[in-house]
């Protein structure tokens, strides 16, 4: 791009991009290029405030300051140094929006916040040039808009968007709806590093300036999904557009649900509320971290039992508010809006609640969230020690089938009738084959505090000098009989093989579409995880790429790194060793053999001990309680 000078032109659309480059400035520059090359003549003003990064790939944009950039016909029309200020400052956002709305009036105005996103918990736009990675919380965005409204005596924005991870939140939409803003576009899930695909929808608007805001939103959503899947066909993608003018009925219904759930807590049903929470997929979850954003529809499904009519009212209001919602088919159904319900972040809740506390807009819902977080941090439970038992044969499979037959009815959403209906529980049990399935019995007083169960497998490598156990991973293929307290593992004696090596594997997501799992490795000398997808009914797992989960600042990494021919992959194993079996064992790690990546390599399942030599193994259940802690059952030894 070249630097030129021109005056602002009257336009049909002004695009105001608040771009915090941070450690994503290279991707930001790619998006600036996509905006600049869009052929839309004088129909579109593109105005960018680029800051929050110590350097930029474009030489025209300076690091460690804010740059006001305008684009026209593939060129930098102007670049002005606005001086340093934190991009995580509400005043910086207000200043930019006031300037853009005043100096670049147009038929339509679109505002986009660009950077990392961390849902309602932490917000968006985290400035790398500040000591504490200062970001814009939801309350700060609200303050910026309130002060903007006061300064201008009112304003109108046609489209507000976040080109950032996990910002399609109910809390954000409810707050934005209090201002004269028509539509909101954002993603429930993580976004890839490429983010939105700007060129096609900007060109489409340039050719058809009579396009409605709703049509523009749909074009943004569809071009994002298309570009994302072309880049990474197996990615987990969502993008939705919300009609903020239809939020009031949803907000009213959510206030009712907040009151209902608060009553459930006060009536001593915190364990049931927590178990409902555990049924919800957490967007952005990776390894042992998350930002606790769950799909709003999934929340209503899980809690409909407390008020079916109230949940149905919220569902109907939500469907009217969501203009368009797209997702990849490897995710459970997503409604287009997420909501924060603390779980993994319960211990940090007090440190971040001020930044999302929109009680003046949603007192009942925020009251429930606060009370629920307090319940989680204010309790504890220790499960009675129990020892798993081996169970096999047709009788075992009959037991599993009976769990679903005898389970309490569920409330399921009937989309055609727009109501919740009480139905028999669904869910197919994977047939357990072989001789290695296990079960354990929990007492009623333990069962009421149980959230979910994992199965842990270890390999005994002890010798005459020391005891040693290799951690092979955690499995989510377990079944709980909530009537009897019996817990069943569907471990069948097989384990993943990659590069002719037994590898550790940790289930990350498990649903009816399959499993997404992690293998800890060193990739070209750097610690990371291989992300593997096992589709339902398929014997082999596809390696989607590598992802370390979160960056050094605790923010979710926006993309999976595709593997290249010849990449060096070394599996990393956790091992526990000690001189005496009864002493506390020390944790250490060791590395497997190097694997050179070749396109088409897969992860396969193989019978343990298939090579002929007997293997000594250990199995236990990991019992996760409703307070977010866990206990392990006794280890049971077996040979394969």
End-to-end CA distance of the chain: 64
The answer to pTM > 0.75 is: yes
Cα angle 528-534-538, degrees, rounded to a multiple of 5 = 150
What tens digit of pLDDT does each residue of 384-435 get?
Answer: 999 999 886 545 555 655 555 555 557 889 888 999 988 755 444 444 444 6
| Domain ranges for the chain | 11-372, 430-639
611 contacts: CB under 8 Å, gap ≥ 6 = none
Among 108-117, 126-135, 343-352, name the one with the lowest average pLDDT. 343-352
Distance CA 180, CA 109 (A): 12
Helix (H, G, I), strand (E, B) or coil at 246: helix
What tens digit of pLDDT does each residue of 47-60 get?
Answer: 999 999 999 999 99
- Nearest partner of 112 among 219, 220, 230, judged by Cα: 220
Mean of the pLDDT values across residues 550-579? 83
Helix (H) or strand (E) segment spanning residue 250: helix 247-266
Distance CA 135, CA 356 (A): 12
Distance CA 363, CA 557 (A): 33
| Percentage of the chain lying above the pLDDT 90 cut | 68
- Nearest partner of 306 among 411, 208, 154, judged by Cα: 411
Per-residue pLDDT at 403: 57
Q: Residue 638: beta bridge partners?
A: 617
Please give the DSSP secondary-structure letter assigned to residue 542: E
Per-residue pLDDT at 430: 43
Cα–Cα separations (whole angstroms), residue 11 to 43, 199, 353: 5, 17, 41
Confidence class for position 4, pLDDT limits 50, 70, 90: very low
Please give the DSSP secondary-structure letter assigned to residue 347: G
Query: Which value, in Å, is the radius of gyration of the alpha carbons in the chain?
Result: 26
What tens digit of pLDDT does each residue of 502-551 get?
Answer: 999 998 877 777 888 899 999 999 999 999 989 888 889 999 899 887 66
Number of C-beta neighbours around residue 418 at 10 A: 12
Task: Write down the mean pLDDT value for the chain.
Answer: 90
Number of C-beta neighbours around residue 527 at 10 A: 12
pLDDT at residue 153 greater than cutoff 50: yes
Mean of the pLDDT values across residues 320-335? 94
């Amino acid at each position: 791009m070249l630097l030129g000078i021109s005056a602002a032109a009257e336009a049909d659309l002004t695009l105001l991009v608040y771009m915090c480059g941070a450690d994503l400035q290279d991707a930001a520059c790619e998006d600036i290029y996509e905006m600049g090359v869009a052929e839309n003549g004088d129909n579109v003003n593109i105005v960018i405030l680029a800051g929050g990064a110590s350097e930029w790939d474009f030489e025209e944009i300076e690091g460690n300051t804010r740059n006001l950039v305008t684009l026209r016909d593939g060129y930098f029309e102007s670049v002005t140094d606005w001086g340093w200020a934190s991009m995580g400052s509400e005043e910086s956002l207000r200043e930019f929006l006031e300037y853009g709305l005043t100096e670049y009036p147009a038929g339509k105005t679109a505002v986009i916040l660009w950077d990392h996103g961390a849902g309602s918990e932490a917000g968006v736009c985290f400035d790398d040039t500040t000591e504490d990675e200062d970001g814009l919380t939801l309350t700060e965005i609200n303050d910026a808009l309130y002060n903007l409204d006061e300064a201008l005596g009112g304003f109108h924005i046609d489209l507000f968007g976040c080109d950032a991870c996990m910002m399609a939140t109910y809390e954000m939409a409810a707050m934005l709806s209090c201002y004269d803003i028509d539509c909101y576009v954002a993603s429930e899930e993580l976004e890839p590093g490429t983010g939105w695909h700007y060129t096609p929808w900007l060109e489409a608007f340039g050719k058809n300036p009579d396009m409605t805001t709703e049509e523009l939103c749909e074009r943004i959503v569809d071009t994002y999904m298309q570009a994302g899947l072309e880049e990474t066909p197996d990615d987990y993608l969502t993008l939705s557009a919300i009609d903020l003018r239809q939020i009031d009925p949803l907000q009213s219904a959510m206030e009712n649900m907040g009151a209902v759930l608060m009553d459930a807590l006060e009536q001593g049903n915190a364990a049931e509320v927590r178990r409902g929470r555990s049924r919800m997929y957490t967007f952005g979850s990776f390894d042992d971290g998350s930002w606790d954003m769950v799909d709003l529809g999934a929340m209503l499904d899980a809690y409909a039992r407390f008020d079916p009519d109230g949940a149905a009212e919220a569902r109907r209001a939500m469907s009217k508010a969501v203009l368009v919602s797209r997702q990849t088919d490897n995710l459970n159904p997503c409604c287009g809006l997420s909501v924060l319900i603390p779980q993994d972040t319960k211990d940090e809740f007090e440190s971040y609640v001020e930044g999302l506390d929109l009680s003046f807009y949603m007192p009942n819902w925020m009251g429930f969230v606060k009370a629920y977080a307090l319940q989680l941090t204010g309790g504890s439970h220790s499960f009675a020690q129990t020892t798993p038992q081996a169970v096999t044969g047709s009788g075992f499979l009959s037991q599993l089938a009976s769990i679903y037959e005898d389970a309490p009815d569920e409330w399921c959403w009937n989309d055609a009738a727009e109501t919740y209906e009480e139905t028999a529980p669904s869910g197919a049990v994977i047939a357990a084959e072989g001789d290695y399935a296990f079960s354990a019995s929990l007492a009623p007083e333990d069962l009421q505090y149980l959230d979910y169960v994992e199965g842990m497998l270890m390999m005994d490598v002890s010798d005459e000098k020391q005891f040693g156990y290799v951690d092979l991973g955690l499995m989510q293929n377990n079944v709980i009989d909530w009537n009897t307290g019996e817990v069943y593992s569907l471990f069948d004696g097989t384990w993943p093989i990659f590069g002719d090596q037994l590898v550790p594997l940790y289930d990350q997501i498990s649903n009816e579409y399959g499993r997404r799992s992690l293998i800890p490795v060193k990739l070209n000398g750097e610690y990371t995880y291989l992300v593997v997808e096992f589709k339902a009914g398929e014997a082999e797992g596809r390696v989607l790429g590598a992802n370390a989960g979160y960056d050094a600042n605790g923010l979710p990494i926006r993309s999976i790194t595709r593997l290249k021919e010849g990449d060096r992959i070394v599996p990393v194993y956790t091992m526990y060793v000690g001189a005496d079996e009864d002493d506390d064992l020390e944790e250490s790690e060791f590395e497997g053999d190097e694997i050179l990546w070749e396109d088409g390599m897969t992860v396969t399942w193989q019978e343990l001990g298939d090579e002929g030599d007997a293997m000594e193994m250990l199995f236990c259940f990991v019992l996760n309680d409703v307070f977010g802690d866990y206990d392990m059952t006794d280890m049971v030894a077996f040979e394969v």
